Structure 1
């Protein structure tokens, strides 16, 4: 599917209740971590870190932090024992991140608000964006990549889907049922999550809408490359984009950019 519709997602709206947004992000983190959605990109990420001579990652737009939790553990056990990640977001979630940090060596977080299009210079490391790049319209997406180019920071953008109509069907049918079944097991425990899932089911309803819209808003690999070249008109980075498949079927769409002349 190459069609891209930039419809709105409720979680992006400034007035959207924080408690509902947190419940949706907690569910997304739980699913990503439990299913190992991003394990297929570990070899790509390890290669990028090795080429940039880094072991530290800076996750932008981290949400509840499910993107790199399993990834950093796998990196640590497959050739990069010093791998670590610092989670950041425009809307930080320190309570959720503290839980991840307590159980994942090498996982840290910055509690301040961080704009992915203007990252403070003191926050170094290979930049990653998991499950969030589709939130940005082309001008803002380009600005995010431009900031990485300007600061000569390697960057990897990863979306946990292949942008297929079948994924929208799953978001409408199977995933809502799964959400109702697993919500009691999500940690940290929040009474509000139970209330807004089972009593007033706002979290599942908004998750269905945002899940479908996320797939429609995703950039295909060729669109990611077009954004990258717009952000890097002087061709100072090496860019690659594509898809990798999980052993049990799902795909991950990615864009990776590395500065040229790293030894200079």
Structure 2
């Protein structure tokens, strides 16, 4: 669909330093569930599985040549799920498995430790990582593989200035990047965000049991801060999200030599008729 409105870089609640850490943890956990838990009947595959399938299809046999670094990983998001799906597929075909590394400007080490312990191919960087100047050891793997940067529900957080700097650093030190968003500037996206907020209210008891946190119930039903924050940030994320052509315009004007970089994009429905996984993958060829 064509964008409903021009891109607007408004503020998101989860980005604000005053947002309480306990609420931020619940917020990020709810987004992770959105990525990884399919809704009965209406979803055959969760968005994270679709992301894994897109990477497998777009990178093809070359996927084993890459190591993946998730920038802005938050609480881990979909990456542990993606890693599991991709490596299960590679092992089935007797292909070389691949590694994934979680990074963030504000590392969530406690959660990352638990997910990394479950897989020999999932790692994390305990130090703060600035995506505009990624440490060499992250983007130049010791095993000689190429580096692919992942931005899962993250690239829209950067304004044009920061996004251009990130792309310039990527072109200078990596071999590709992949952007995955669950929203865009369309009416369908705003409907999907509304459904997410309503779903949070309905599923509050499930969240409270799953996370062993009564706060999930308190801040969903008694004081509905969590669904309100998810709705606001979802609407703003939709307004912030760039079309693939806008990403490419930033790439070509970032100040680096991008003549050998090729961009592909697409959109795949995960929740008919309003939920889409929107993807942009760019590689050096």
TM bucket by the smaller chain? 0.7 to 0.9
Residue number in structure 2 paired with 1:25: 28
Q: Cα 1:131–1:247, aligned 2, differ >3 Å: closer, same or farther?
A: closer
User: Structure 2 length normalisation: TM-score?
Assistant: 0.81
* Matched ranges for 1:169-208 at <5 A: 169-172=191-194, 174-186=195-207, 187-208=210-231
Q: Secondary structure at the match of 1:246?
A: strand
Alpha-carbon distance between aligned partners in 2 of 1:232 and 1:156, rounded to the nearest angstrom: 20
* Matched ranges for 1:58-69 at <5 A: 58-69=69-80
The answer as to 2:157 corresponding to 1:132 is no
Q: Cα 1:152–1:102, aligned 2, differ >3 Å: closer, same or farther?
A: closer
Residue number in structure 2 paired with 1:254: 279
Q: Secondary structure at the match of 2:202?
A: helix
For structure 1, the 5+ residue unaligned runs are none
* Matched ranges for 1:143-222 at <5 A: 143-172=165-194, 174-186=195-207, 187-222=210-245
Residue number in structure 1 paired with 2:163: 141
| 1:135-192 alpha-carbon deviations (Å, 9 max, x no partner) | 11111111111111111332111112354212212322x2222112334444543343
Alpha-carbon distance between aligned partners in 1 of 2:187 and 2:31, rounded to the nearest angstrom: 20
Alpha-carbon distance between aligned partners in 2 of 1:223 and 1:133, rounded to the nearest angstrom: 12
Alpha-carbon distance between aligned partners in 1 of 2:196 and 2:222, rounded to the nearest angstrom: 19
| 1:10-69 alpha-carbon deviations (Å, 9 max, x no partner) | 111222222222211110011101132133343442343854753421100011212222
**How many corresponding residue pairs?**
259
Q: Secondary structure at the match of 1:89?
A: coil
For structure 2, the 5+ residue unaligned runs are 39-45, 140-146
* Matched ranges for 1:33-52 at <5 A: 33-35=36-38, 36-46=46-56, 47-48=58-59, 50-51=61-62
Residue number in structure 2 paired with 1:96: 111
Alpha-carbon distance between aligned partners in 1 of 2:126 and 2:119, rounded to the nearest angstrom: 17
Residue number in structure 1 paired with 2:249: 226
Alpha-carbon distance between aligned partners in 2 of 1:121 and 1:137, rounded to the nearest angstrom: 24
Q: Secondary structure at the match of 1:240?
A: strand
Give the superposition deviation at 1:104.
4.5
Alpha-carbon distance between aligned partners in 1 of 2:255 and 2:269, rounded to the nearest angstrom: 30
Residue number in structure 1 paired with 2:41: none
Give the superposition deviation at 1:214.
0.6
Conserved? CA contact 2:64–2:96, under 8 Å: no
Conserved? CA contact 2:265–2:281, under 8 Å: no
**What RMSD over aligned residues (CA atoms) do the two structures have, in Å?**
2.3
Conserved? CA contact 1:27–1:183, under 8 Å: no
